[in-house]
Structure 1
Amino acid sequence: MSTLTVPSPRPRPARWVFRLHRWALYVWAALVLTASALLLWAAGPLADRATRGWHRMLECPRQGPCSVDVGFYYTVFDLLSYAMIILPFLVAAWAAVALTAPGTESGSAPSAWLQGITPARWLTARLALPAAVITAGTTLLVILHRYAGAAPEDRRGPGPEWWMPRAFYTNGPALAAACLTALAAGALTGLLVRRTLPSLGITLAATTLLFTGVHRLMPHLWPLVTKVNDFQHGYAVRPGALEVVHGIATRGGGRVPAPECTVDSAKALAACERLYARHGGTGYFTQYHPASHYWPLQLTTTALLLLLTALLTAATFAVLRRRTG
């Protein structure tokens, strides 16, 4: 008499990860949908009201003094910009607390491996599904943020320069790349520390240092524009430009930092010029990024963040391989 053997169902890590983290997915979806609705509200009724206010302001000189109400467009838009900037830190915190640390700390990860899921597949599933969801959500928010930012016909209200974090990262793919880097950093920290609360603190500190370094490096990822003026015309200042380096140009074509010299009068200015001349200076130089460099810097910063993501991910797999043999 033969025995009928029923094969065990093949493990499906993606379904397992979804069931394990479905509440995090629901929260993320709620955040993205809420922010998307607010951005559409800003791009529609709020932007229309702001435009009417600016048109009213243009008529004020002809009609005499008047008050202008531009509504809540700028308030809502700026608050959403700040909210988008903190998304990588939320992702890093979640990854450190829920992605790898609980599994290795409580022993659920080894039990999953005993069910036919190899450590590599376990980690791949833990990273791939959140990465796809995070990329889709941040991409949607960036598209809507750019749409809302361009909605008013005349945006004269106070706003950040294009190179400031809440303008630079919220209008391009660097935000999605930053979230992926944070995800990888949180996963690596959780696997190394294997305790939830210490992983949270270390990950947030490391993420802050990481993105501070990336933003400081950003201006040096693309060639600078150099402008030289004579001493009489002073430094070349371009509206909206990101100034990186300035100093004095020398007779031999070199560029050196300007010696410290306090200018509080025309006499002092002449003294400063004589001081610069003694150092071989022939004029002032300024190296900067114009606003047209936004996309080159955006793409090079995105590439740098993706490289960091790849390195952190490779390190995470290496640590897992060492611990599981």
Structure 2
Amino acid sequence: MTTLTRDPARTAPAGSFRDTWIPRLGGPVWLAWRQHRAALWTLVAVTLVGVAVMVHLRGQMMDLLAAQDPTSRRAGGLPPEFEAYIDRLLSIGSYLGYIPVLAGVLLGAPLIAGDLETGTAKLVTSQSVSRMRWLTVKLAVPAAVLALSTGVLSAVLTWWWNPVKGFSEGLIWTAFFSVTGVVPVAYALLTFTVGVAVGLVLRRTLVSMVVTLGIVVALGFVWSELWRSLGNVMSINTDKGVGPGLVPPELPDQAEQQGQGTYFLTSSGDRLDWTTCLDQMENDKAHTACLESKHVIGWSLDYLDVSQMQTMQWLGAGAMFALTAAVAAFVIVWGRKRLL
């Protein structure tokens, strides 16, 4: 009996081009690749195009910077043409931010739901392939391609951004936190497995894609609200007063201010809201007297420093990898019992 898991490459004549150059994918691995080859090849092609575009734009940007006097860079005297490269860098970074959405909705949700809807899952598991092996391979093959592609794009974007971070307020590290380093890989794998789990439970492709989109959007909102809590908030305090002629302290380079803004610091170490004595701002003497009555001695600012970026990324990615493993385990357990 002919099965769906036979390796077609083995039928090629010995020494032929196909026998020489085509990798010998066999069994469920070959089937998983063949079933989803359009999506996977598209992902590979997009990765190659994205890498080529970023390498080209980075080369042009570095040529422009090389022709610029280093002292003028520090003084903020970059040429107007540099703004175009900033916009392109930010735009491509924002495009990479959509990878998790596409991974969950277009790759994860239809992965098993489509096979359940068309009856392919029942046909495959009626052969000599166990449900456990089939589910594992179905998850592993697209996940490997997705992780590799996302990792390559993230690495090239990081390589492009590193030489110019700090040259502009738009290039601050918080704008690139979720699209550089290990975070995009972990995020894409999480949304992919969530999409697979939704498709396995709902068993309908279109419904699964819609539900997955909602879940992925919710995950994105939660991530955007929580990722800053992965860092250790640092503070700058002054004790020279806050009267006329004195200004709040400046943040370190590439630091992002946290909280509501600048606080007033009292002699006891407490912090007061910046709106304290706001109604007397028009009169310097009255305003100063009001602050002195509350024992204000200076300012206090909270911020996150760029030095924490990689640690925060690995903490966030670790949590995502753990969730991904949990969802993948659910897919395996649920699929073994209730696949058909």
- TM-aligned CA deviation for residue 13 of structure 1: 1.3
Q: CA deviation at 1:136?
A: 1.3
Q: Distance in 2 between matches of 1:269 and 1:13?
A: 80
Aligned position for 1:84: 96
Q: Which residue number in structure 2 is paired with residue 240 of structure 1?
A: 254
Sequence identity of aligned pairs in percent? 23
Question: In the alignment, what sits opposite 2:31?
Answer: 16
Task: Please state how far the C-alpha of 1:151 moved relative to its aligned partner.
Answer: 5.0
Give the match for residue 168 of structure 1. Answer: 177
Letter in 2 for 1:130: P
Tell me the residue number matched to 1:185: 194
Deviation, structure 1 residue 260: 6.7
Of 28, 36, 42, 1:27 maps to: 42
**Residue 93 (structure 1) aligned with residue 105 (structure 2):** yes
After superposing the two structures, state which structure 1 stretch, 266-275 or 242-251, moved more: 266-275
What's the CA shift string for 1:80-118, capped at 9, x where partnerless?
212211111111112344311111222211221111222
1:161 aligned partner, one-letter code: I
In the superposition, relative to structure 1, how do residues 203 and 9 fare at CA in structure 2: closer, same or farther (>3 Å)? closer
Q: Structure 1 length as normaliser, TM-score?
A: 0.80
Q: CA deviation at 1:283?
A: 5.1
1:1-325 mapped onto 2 (5 Å cutoff): 12-49=27-64, 51-52=66-67, 54-55=68-69, 58=72, 69-70=81-82, 72-150=84-162, 156=167, 159-164=170-175, 167-230=176-239, 232=242, 236-238=249-251, 239-245=253-259, 247=263, 253=269, 262=278, 265-267=281-283, 271=287, 274=290, 284-324=299-339
1:256 CA drift (Å): 6.9
Q: Is the 8 A contact 1:44 1:151 kept in 2?
A: no
Could you tell me how far apart the structure 2 residues matched to 1:198 and 1:268 are? 64
Q: Which runs of 5+ in 2 are unaligned?
A: 7-25
Q: How far, CA to CA, are the matches of 2:288 and 2:108 in structure 1?
A: 54
Change beyond 3 A, Cα 1:285–1:57: closer
Distance 1:200 1:221 in 2: 31
Q: Distance in 2 between matches of 1:229 and 1:142?
A: 40
Distance 1:80 1:242 in 2: 22
Return 175-184 or 76-85, whichever deviates more. Answer: 76-85
Partner-residue secondary structure (3-state), 2:235: strand
* Contact 1:221-1:300 at 8 Å conserved across structures: yes
Residues 87, 276 of structure 1: CA spacing in aligned structure 2 closer, same or farther, 3 A cutoff? farther
Larger displacement relative to structure 2 (141-150 or 154-163): 154-163
Question: What secondary structure is seen at the aligned counterpart in 2 of 1:244?
Answer: strand
CA deviation digits over 1:160-213, x for unaligned, max 9? 32112xx11222110111111111111111112211112112111211111221
* Alpha-carbon distance change, 161 to 71 in structure 1, aligned in 2, over 3 angstroms: closer
Question: Contact 1:191–1:316 at 8 Å: present in 2 too?
Answer: yes
What is the CA distance between 1:41 and its match in structure 2? 0.2
Contact in 2 for aligned 1:39/1:148 (Cα 8 Å): yes
Distance of aligned partners of 1:161 and 1:70 in 2 relative to their CA distance in 1, 3 Å threshold: closer
Question: Structure 1 residues 274 and 104 mapped into 2: Cα distance closer, same or farther (>3 Å)?
Answer: farther
Go from structure 1 to structure 2 and tell me whether the alpha carbon gap of 1:99 and 1:9 turns closer, same or farther (over 3 Å shift): closer
Shift of 1:77: 2.5
For normalisation by structure 2, the TM-score amounts to: 0.77
Letter in 1 for 2:259: V
Change (3 A) 1:287 1:156: closer
Output one character per residue of 1:217-268: Cα deviation in whole Å (capped at 9) or x when no partner.
1111232213333451675551432233355556665557666764783538
281-290 or 205-214, which moves further after superposition?
Answer: 281-290
Name which of structure 1's ranges 18-27 and 6-15 shifts more when overlaid on structure 2: 6-15
In structure 1, give the amino acid aligned to 2:160: A
Q: Which amino acid aligns with 1:192?
A: V
Residue 64 (structure 1) aligns with = none
What is the rounded CA distance, in whole Å, between the counterparts of 1:281 and 1:185 in structure 2?
A: 51
Aligned match of 2:15: none
Could you list the runs of 5+ residues in structure 1 that have no partner in the other structure?
62-66
